[in-house]
Amino acid sequence: MSNFVIEAPAVTAVPVAGGGSFPVRRVFCVGRNYAEHAREMGHDPDREEPFFFTKPADALVINGADMPYPAKTRDLHHEMELVVAIGTGGRDIPEAQALAHVYGYAAGLDMTRRDLQAAAKKAGRPWDMAKGFDLSGPIGEIVPASRAGHPAAGKIELSVNGAVRQSSDLSRQIWNVAETIAYLSGLVALKPGDLIFTGTPEGVGAVNKGDVLEGAIAGVGSVRTRIA
């Protein structure tokens, strides 16, 4: 018997291809990890160390569920991303050992209130309410690395209502998965259950109520949601 004075929060769980589910602890996201996206956002991709922001675990949208159009924005953007699921924790993880800490991979969407992000950037304020709002992270099934390996290359694509909006290749990431894990684990101790959204390629743009978003990553899987 716990002595919690309210009901304990539920653990967010992402289904795993082949059975079972992955309990989520924290959700980290990499900013600007593809050169063309950095350029479209007005930055020089060659001069920046990786940087990170977070979403709450319960911001994930699972099993192809609808994502409600969020409050306080008129510019909801899609960002199609490879998601890394950490199975074994660690701090100061060497790059050469980083992939051994990965349980698996998924396709995910880092949905963004771009107008709130632009205002936060301009004011030098945090991005939390632009990125970490309720139901801001649709995610597909996690495929275990034991089945799929560690994808270093392959098409990453997002369509809205059947029209391709984002299309790139994982090999174009500025910081690959191993480098990202090594860098992030120097900032915080990674723990089992942590997810890392590894950044979006170019082609981000606005969506509206009723739009259907379908993303796929070669060798990893897919993600789908409808904006309700």
Q: Any contact of residue 200 with Mn ion (CB under 5 A)?
A: yes
| CA dist., res. 66 & res. 213, Å (int) | 10
3-state SS assignment for residue 199 = coil
**CA distance linking residue 12 with residue 193, whole number of Å:** 10
To Mn ion, the closest distance from the beta carbon of 84 in angstroms equals 13
Q: Which is nearer to Mn ion, 110 or 194 (CB)?
A: 110
Phi, psi at 35, each rounded to 5°: -55, -45
Q: Does 225 bind Mn ion (CB under 5 A)?
A: no
Nearest approach, Cβ of 63 to Mn ion (angstroms)?
21
Cβ closer to Mn ion: 78 or 101?
78
110 sits near Mn ion (criterion: CB under 5 A): yes
Contact yes or no for 54/132 (Cβ under 8 A): yes
Neighbours of 147 (CB within 10 A): 10
Residue 168 binds Mn ion (CB under 5 A): no
Note whether 116 and 190 are within 8 A (CB). Answer: no
Q: Which residues from 33-62 bind Mn ion, rule CB under 5 A? A: none
Nearer to Mn ion by Cβ, of 110 and 214: the residue is 110
180 binds Mn ion (CB under 5 A): no
For the bound state, the minimum distance from the C-beta of residue 110 to Mn ion, rounded and expressed in Å, comes to 3
Query: Interface with Mn ion by CB under 5 A: which range of 10-18, 77-85, 96-104, 213-221?
Result: 77-85
Cβ at position 79, least distance to Mn ion in Å? 4
Cα angle 70, 75, 78; round to 5: 80
34, 55, 79, 104: which one contacts Mn ion (CB under 5 A)? 79
* 206-to-50, 81, 165 alpha-carbon distances in Å: 25, 16, 10
Residues 6+ apart with CB under 8 A from 42: none
The structure tokens listed for 25 are: 């602890």
Neighbours of 197 (CB within 10 A): 27
Least separation in angstroms between residue 146's CB and Mn ion is 27
From residue 145, how far is each of 85, 91, 150, 151 by CA, in Å? 10, 21, 6, 9
Q: How many residues form the binding site for Mn ion (CB under 5 A)?
A: 3
Which span sits near Mn ion by CB under 5 A: 1-9, 12-20, 104-112, 173-181?
Answer: 104-112
- Candidate segments 36-44, 72-80, 119-127, 137-145, binder of Mn ion by CB under 5 A: 72-80
Q: Contact residues for Mn ion (CB under 5 A)?
A: 79, 110, 200
